[in-house]
Amino acid sequence: MTVARRNYPLAAACAAILALGSVAPAQASKERFVVDLVNEPSSLDPQVQWNPDSYYVYRNIFDNLVTRDDRGEIVPQVATSWKYLSENEIEFELRSDITFHDGSKLTADDVVFSVKRITDRSFGSPQLGQFDKITDAVALSPTKVKLTTQGAYPALLAQLVKLSIVPKAVVEAVGKDAFNLKPVGSGPYKFEGWQRGVAVTLSRNDAYWGTKGPFPSVIFRAVPDSATRLANLQAGTSDLGVTLDSDQAAQLKTAAKAKPLTGLTERVAYLRLNTTKPPFDNVKVRQAAALAIDKEGLVDGLLGGFDKPVGQLLTPAIFGWIDDLPGAKYDLAKAKALVTEAGPAAKTEIELSTAPVFDQRIVQAVQQQLGEAGLNVKIAMSDMASYLKRAQAGPEGTSTLSFGRWSCACQDADGVLFPLLHKSSGWSAYRNPKTDALLEEARQTLDKDKRLAAYKQVHEIVAGEVPVIPLYQAVVIYGATKNLNFTPTPNESMFLNRMSWND
């Protein structure tokens, strides 16, 4: 039986269109571009926080050392070119014509400062794990920087896509807290104001060195309720709304003023099994769980067919994906048989950890599917902060089972497989020396073929040992005004200067 034929709780629920509440209507126009986010940014300092609502805003205020184009290729931004001097040294040539919004020039000193700031453990950046392989940064000239890594680090450029360059002089003069309240970057948009709990306003940087933004003014509003974001789009009081679901996308297909925009991302949805706790300390029970999940049913029956089932703990948008590598196929009869073979221990209560940010229709469907196989699953809901704290607590402290959606925004397997599987990571509830060795091998060579061979073995081990169950490649769903040109990207970036009006 497939998910499409089942009556899961909430699956058929329809959200009511709510009043705008505290978010004042602001009729969108070509002079003012209005974006409805879920929450207000937690930070506008790009090295303090990295969550979608913050990233959507500050990525337009700052330039990064390198970036990705809409095809996903790593291309120059502040750096015009780069070359490896050795396996662990890379030299970047920088643009000489970039100025910060205060009029000062961006130089190699600012790049070095930005690198050392984010890699300073005392600074406490939550992004540290993405850059901690960098051991040194040196300015060789005003337009030349050398980075040194701890051994070869093939994911370096993929991680540097997220390194925003901040002005050393401004940060040192005003301090971390003040910089967060009034950030100064060199990007296509300048910070104008932040009305806490309501909106952040940016203005176009007409002196920008690159492609200039099409909108003179941009307002990012905090609109937590998705029904309200949908209503704003339908009423024409917003130009772009984030994080809609498949039902809302379907409504926009027939809307007079708005349309849905979708794109498959690098983000993978998965179930993480704690292999150190019963019943998942028994590989037969883990294998049973994998066979009990009807991925196609989840996607077609609950997600509108937008997302894509996957058999690997990656998506095709990520380096390390192996074509034609089969995953577990839905087989309820076999799942039941394995549970029976495992004996009474398989009936141990399983805590399924989740948080409100996740689609609870999926969580409840997973609970039901595992229950049909004979497993005893109880959903444990907590706020996101508590969920994340426990999710990073290692095998001893984390739950028996948890639902998650992972993106490193680097489109490299190292940013997904290493944190979720390697013993050194708090996110991992799995212990396998062979897997650890393969992951270490893959992150210590620049040879792409050797890396792919190692990742292929990791995928095969995961398929047999089942420390995680890959579910689907997540789709990003935006709502947009009819005449907006915007192409969603796998890394879920929102580059305002890559948008345009279709008159």
Task: Kindly report the CATH number that applies to the domain delimited by 265-474.
Answer: 3.10.105.10
One-letter amino acid for residue 216 of the chain: P
pLDDT tens string 477-501: 999 999 999 999 998 899 999 999 9
Residue 5's pLDDT is what?
Answer: 37
What 3-state DSSP class applies to 90? strand
Task: List CB contacts of 196: < 8 A, sequence separation 6 or more.
Answer: 40
Q: What is the pTM of this model?
A: 0.82
Q: Given the DSSP bridges, would you call strands 484-485 and 500-501 parallel, antiparallel or unpaired?
A: antiparallel
β-bridge mates for residue 81, sequence order: 93
pLDDT tens string 322-334: 998 988 899 999 9
Residue 19's pLDDT is what?
Answer: 33
Among the listed residues 314, 295, 266, 317, the one whose alpha carbon sits nearest the alpha carbon of residue 456:
314
What are the tokens at 121? 């453990």
With a cut of 60, say whether residue 20 has pLDDT above it: no
What are the tokens at 423? 């013993």
Domain map (residue ranges) of the chain:
32-41+175-263+476-501, 66-174, 265-474
β-bridge mates for residue 189, sequence order: 204
Q: HSE (CB half, 13 Å, CA atoms) of 253?
A: 8
Question: pLDDT category, 29, cuts 50, 70, 90?
Answer: low
Helices 433-442 and 414-421 pack at an angle, to 10 degrees, of 160
β-bridge mates for residue 350, sequence order: 377
With a cut of 90, say whether residue 130 has pLDDT above it: no
Q: Other C-beta atoms within 10 Å of 204: how many?
A: 20
N residues, the chain: 503
- State how far the alpha carbon of 118 is from the alpha carbons of 79, 133, 279, 326, 438, in Å: 18, 12, 41, 39, 28
Helices 295-302 and 360-372 pack at an angle, to 10 degrees, of 140
For 97, counting Cβ atoms within 10 Å of its Cβ (0-12 exposed, 13-18 middle, 19+ buried), the class is exposed
- Euclidean distance between CA atoms 375 and 100, whole angstroms: 58
pLDDT tens string 203-234: 999 999 999 999 999 999 999 899 999 999 99
For the domain made up of 66-174, give the CATH fold: Dipeptide-binding Protein; domain 1 (3.90.76)
For the domain made up of 32-41+175-263+476-501, give the CATH fold: D-Maltodextrin-Binding Protein; domain 2 (3.40.190)
